[in-house]
Amino acid sequence: MKTLKNWTLNQHADHFVELKVDNRHLLRIYVLESGLMRVLLKRNGELALNHTWSIAPGDDVPWEGRDRESSDGFTLPAFQLEHEENQLRISTDRLRVTVHHPLCLSWEHAQQGQWQPLAADRHTGAYLLNAHGDGVEHYQRRQPQDRVYGLGEKTGDLNRSGRRFEMRNLDAMGYNAASTDPLYKHIPFTLTQRDGVSFGLFYDNLSSSWLDLGNELDNYHLPYRRYRAEAGDLDYYLMLGPKLLDVTQAFVRLTGRTIFQPKWSLGYSGSTMHYTDAPDAQHQLQGFIRLCREHEIPCDSFQLSSGYTSINNKRYVFNWNYDKVPNPSGMSEAFHAAGMKLAANIKPCLLQDHPRYQEVASQGLFIRDSEQDRPERSVFWDDEGSHLDFTHPQAVRWWQENVTAQLLEKGIDATWNDNNEYEVWDGEARCHGFGQSIAIKHIRPVMPLLMMRASLEAQQRFAPEKRPYLISRSGCAGMQRYVQTWSGDNRTSWQTLRYNIRMGLGMSLSGLFNVGHDVGGFSGDKPDAELFVRWVQNGVMHPRFTIHSWNDDHTVNEPWMYPEVTPLIREAIRLRYRLMPYLYTLLWQASAQDQPMLRPTFLDHEEDSETYRENDDFLLGRDLLVASVVEEGSREREVYLPRNAHGWYDWHSGQWLAGGQTVTLDAPLDRLPLLARAGCAIPLGRCESATDARLDNVRELQLWPAPGEAQTEGEFFDDDGESHGWRQGNALWMRWTLRGSAQRLELTLEKRGDYQPAWREIEVLLPAGETRELWINGEKGTRFSL
């Protein structure tokens, strides 16, 4: 690697400053927002890849990608430039960057009228290029007090400091949730908190890369962190918080806002490889409907694993095995009649003996081999196959035609985009690139992104009046624009249950708000009864709640798999449906307000240093503190209550508890330890189906009043659950304000929007032991009519 050292000012434009580096390269510093700047290095004055698919500050990007040099969608504020002999300084009212000799950057933020240090490059070599080919590196100083989060679904502790990570999408079946790396997603985004201020750093490069956050030491340099990409451009965005939540929200606004999916996507979704692998798959699948009824298990959807496409033991996308599933349309009708939607697994690789392989190959729709004029072939599902090239418009069209004809027209409601890591290791394999050939090494994670987009648009065209639901396992920054995701093929163990929680929080901090895990574990032997109960109790508190398995011992994870604990499983799932109005409000806020649904406790309590200790707790929204039991045999649960203004309530007993202390809660096997933030109001329902808004005819509002005199406020949301009517105001936004005094509680409810729900009144509930009178909109009582 060649260290870049000398620079001169080359150009001062309206929205960027350009330096000439070592008389060969161009380095641009863009001022995009008052707290957002971008650094782009053009090797020999040229870009390795002139488009990006991750940056979407306004509307979605074109299919062929966004011009990498575009600044559309940003406010582009004026900035001040100061140029002295040995340094150059660029300033907004919030953020300042100084360029030093030899080439390195230091960053400062404005605080109470003073400039304070924020971040700095390593002064003994910050920017390195491979002098004889691809490869870029960036080094920054690392401070001992750094807390570093992000990077998507990485395993292990939430604080990434001191470790090294790789971004290279892999099908990591049965991974160790404490240590395996790399995994499925490519999100080179970190959030760093230091001395009470936070900043984010996103590298917009889709080639395989490595981020070392303190694992590496070199005696010739002060402590540093390192980013290295095997190819592509050095192009990074630095965003100022000052809080961690601000950084996450800025990253989502940079890469695209979260898709607002239908309400039924929040319900229990059944799934297992076992049913579709069985020779009588349709019988097994329809048996699931019957068993849900028999065991009184609420369920809104089922995810068809890929066995429905099988020929012998292999999978062939868009190929129905009519021996297993004689009547797909009839099967869909049976699920719909039971109030359940269907999502079908689809894969982007055609095995070499796929019945339609030659058809697709003859049209040139596969990624091409780098040396021979033929489709590239890679290992896939115990054979070899060729991957569809989603940068080829005809491949997109072929995919969408088959999603429509083979799935949607047969009654399938949604697509489950799976096995889309694109493990094509011939880095020079050629992609169509929408007419501009691109080596796969530059855009591997773009392929799953475009795959999910192709599926999304097919669903939108087929049912334009409905909000689409899609799932994808792999992807990159920006995938939240299209899909819900999960942490992949986990392995059954108590350790996985514990560390999946942290993986979900890592994804949430990285802009993926609609996430979950395979409840019960996907691979390994089946969970025992206790582990299964605890996993379900944890799972119902995540946006995606799916029990899914492909157990090594040929068993199947089902809610009724252990009759002795089925009542406990039923009650956990019923709690989820009881909380559905709250969950749906969180889904709305994730889409409309960039609010994470899952939140580490420090996200809303940054001033409380205890919340940064690694723990197994998380917040669902701002108001519910979930303390899942993740240790075998535990019947008590210690939980630290973050310090806040009003304290917390035990959800089960109604006991008020002060924040800033560790308490021990009872945790019998039939109970998930759960707390509510004092001062909040949680909307609740009684309907155990989210597929039909007409059945949702009861609404309650559980108040958890702050003690003494206090005023709190919030909002909840409702609509028909599946249309786009909310865009024209056909939804219900209910604003609440709660004022407390020594003698009474005054609740004010204000509604807007023209949606008329099936429920016509709200019953207000108070915790046990609350003796103050309740007044609603000036009248004493516990009910409010719309």
| Tens-place pLDDT, residues 540-577 | 999 999 999 999 999 999 999 999 999 999 999 999 99
The angle subtended at Cα 254 by Cα 251 and Cα 257, nearest 5°, is 85
CA–CA separation, 541 and 598 (whole Å)? 9
Are residues 665 and 754 both part of a single domain?
no
Average pLDDT over residues 636-649: 97
pLDDT reading at 131 higher than 90:
no
Where residue 741 falls among pLDDT bands split at 50, 70, 90?
very high
Average pLDDT over residues 6-22: 97
Would residue 703 count as lying in a domain? Answer: yes
Would residue 605 count as lying in a domain? Answer: yes
- Residue where one domain finishes, among candidates 656, 677, 698: 677
Query: DSSP class of residue 708?
Result: S
Would residue 639 count as lying in a domain? Answer: yes
Instruction: Give the whole-number percent of the chain exceeding pLDDT 70.
Output: 100
Q: Is residue 507 within 8 Å of 515, Cβ to Cβ?
A: yes
Are residues 666 and 736 both part of a single domain?
no
> For the chain, how many structural domains are there in total?
2
What pTM value is reported for the model?
0.98
Average pLDDT over residues 79-106: 96
Are residues 775 and 698 both part of a single domain?
yes
Would residue 747 count as lying in a domain? Answer: yes
pLDDT reading at 85 higher than 90:
no
| Tens-place pLDDT, residues 38-58 | 999 999 999 999 999 999 999
Q: Which of 609, 674, 607, 672 is nearest to 645 (CA)?
A: 607
Are residues 655 and 744 both part of a single domain?
no
pLDDT reading at 382 higher than 90:
no
- Residue where one domain finishes, among candidates 677, 693, 722: 677
Are residues 731 and 701 both part of a single domain?
yes
CA–CA separation, 366 and 39 (whole Å)? 34
Helix (H) or strand (E) holding 228: strand 224-229
| Tens-place pLDDT, residues 473-485 | 999 999 999 999 9
Where residue 446 falls among pLDDT bands split at 50, 70, 90?
very high
Give the model's pLDDT for residue 711: 97
Q: Which of 243, 205, 170, 745 is nearest to 477 (CA)?
A: 205
Mean per-residue pLDDT over the chain, rounded: 97
Average pLDDT over residues 706-716: 97
Would residue 628 count as lying in a domain? Answer: yes
Are residues 664 and 688 both part of a single domain?
no
How many of the other CB atoms lie within 10 Å of CB of 742?
7
Would residue 557 count as lying in a domain? Answer: no
CA–CA separation, 189 and 237 (whole Å)? 9
Would residue 714 count as lying in a domain? Answer: yes
CATH number at residue 698: 2.60.40.1180
Are residues 669 and 688 both part of a single domain?
no
pLDDT reading at 596 higher than 90:
yes
Are residues 725 and 690 both part of a single domain?
yes
- Residue 109: partners with Cβ closer than 8 Å, 6 or more residues away: 35, 94, 95, 96, 115, 116, 118, 197, 199, 240, 242
pLDDT reading at 132 higher than 90:
no
Ramachandran angles phi, psi of 494, nearest 5°: -65, -35
Are residues 620 and 700 both part of a single domain?
no
Where residue 133 falls among pLDDT bands split at 50, 70, 90?
confident
- Residue where one domain finishes, among candidates 677, 700, 716: 677
Would residue 688 count as lying in a domain? Answer: yes
How many of the other CB atoms lie within 10 Å of CB of 647?
20
pLDDT reading at 685 higher than 90:
yes
Average pLDDT over residues 98-107: 98
Are residues 688 and 633 both part of a single domain?
no
Domain that holds residue 743: 681-785
Are residues 625 and 690 both part of a single domain?
no
How many of the other CB atoms lie within 10 Å of CB of 93?
12
CA–CA separation, 325 and 667 (whole Å)? 44
Are residues 703 and 770 both part of a single domain?
yes
